[in-house]
Structure 1
Amino acid sequence: MSELERLGAEKYVLLTTFRRSGTAVPTPVWIARDGDELVLYSARDAGKVKRIRASVEVEVIACDVRGANTHGDTVHGTARVLDETGSARAREAIARKYGLFGKLAMLGSRLRGGTSRTVGIAITLAA
């Protein structure tokens, strides 16, 4: 099983982004596989989105819901903020993977501010 398949099958991963100073900032997130990438969605003004715009380098490791207990290897990769079409695909992939909970999360997000409030993020794992 490849790292892409393994991480894409996990319920939660710890996404680590980096501040301009190099300080690591880990955040547990839902993630889904979309082709050769992992995708997630986030509030457009979230810190992780700002950090990815400043530095595309990320790390990903499987974890529990709080991000406290990790398992497996840490995988390095690069992230990019998606455009409107890509963001819609990311939200669909999350909703599909997480079933009813994913659909409810997407509905709640739309009710709180529409799809323009969130943005998709794609992660390409290092070879």
Structure 2
Amino acid sequence: MAARANGHCTQETASTMKAQQIKQFEAEEYMSFATRKKSGEYVATPVWFAPLDGDYYIFSAGNAGKVKRLRNFTDASIASCTVTGRVTGEEFEADAYLLETREDEAQALKALQRKYGWKMKLTDLLSGITGKKNKRCYIRVSPR
């Protein structure tokens, strides 16, 4: 596991994903997704993620801190983790981008539904009832 400084992966400890690591990582249910603050510190959040064409897709409330931070910096780090955010695997550097088109968002949602099945459909249903689904942002995470 990579060393952490102040709760985030440092430039020196982050590594590039290798083929065998990718398969193991993609089988995990949660990903620790850390985004950079203006101060340079990283804030990590456990999220669901789905692989598609070498990238990973996640979703978040549109007003979440990670979305605000991504508007300033694309720098991120990712690692497998538990539902509580305890990192369980090696961390990797990544770039993360907010999706801007409905087509890209639909593709991300399909990937998430494919991976999480009924859990994602239930999340969508409940988010639709509460009105939160329309306020979602989808994010593409590209390992470096």
Q: Where has structure 1 moved over 3 Å in runs of 4 or more?
A: 1-6
The structure whose Rg is larger is 2
Shift of 1:99: 1.3
- The corresponding residue for 1:108 is 126
1:9 equivalent among 10, 27, 41: 27
Aligned residue pairs total 125
Say what the alpha-carbon RMSD is for the aligned residues.
1.5
Query: Higher strand share goes to which structure?
Result: 1
Shift of 1:5: 3.4
Gap change, CA 1:109 and 1:4, over 3 Å in 2: farther
Shift of 1:3: 4.0
Question: Which piece of structure 1 moves more, 88-97 or 10-19?
Answer: 88-97
Shift of 1:116: 2.8
Q: Are 2:127 and 1:90 aligned?
A: no
Q: Are 2:65 and 1:47 aligned?
A: yes
Question: Which piece of structure 1 moves more, 84-93 or 1-10?
Answer: 1-10
- The corresponding residue for 1:34 is 52
Query: Could you list the runs of 5+ residues in structure 2 that have no partner in the other structure?
Result: 1-18
**Normalized against structure 1, the TM-score is what?**
0.90
**Normalized against structure 2, the TM-score is what?**
0.80
Distance, in Å, in 2 between the alignment partners of 1:124 and 1:48 is 16
Query: Could you list the runs of 5+ residues in structure 1 that have no partner in the other structure?
Result: none
The one-letter code sitting in structure 1 at the alignment partner of 2:45 is: T
% of aligned pairs identical?
Answer: 32
Gap change, CA 1:24 and 1:46, over 3 Å in 2: same
The one-letter code sitting in structure 2 at the alignment partner of 1:76 is: E
Gap change, CA 1:115 and 1:86, over 3 Å in 2: farther
* Residues 61 and 132 in structure 2, CA contact (< 8 A), matched pair in contact too: no
> Match of 1:71, SS?
coil
The one-letter code sitting in structure 2 at the alignment partner of 1:82 is: L
Shift of 1:2: 4.3
Distance, in Å, in 2 between the alignment partners of 1:89 and 1:9 is 20
> Match of 1:25, SS?
strand
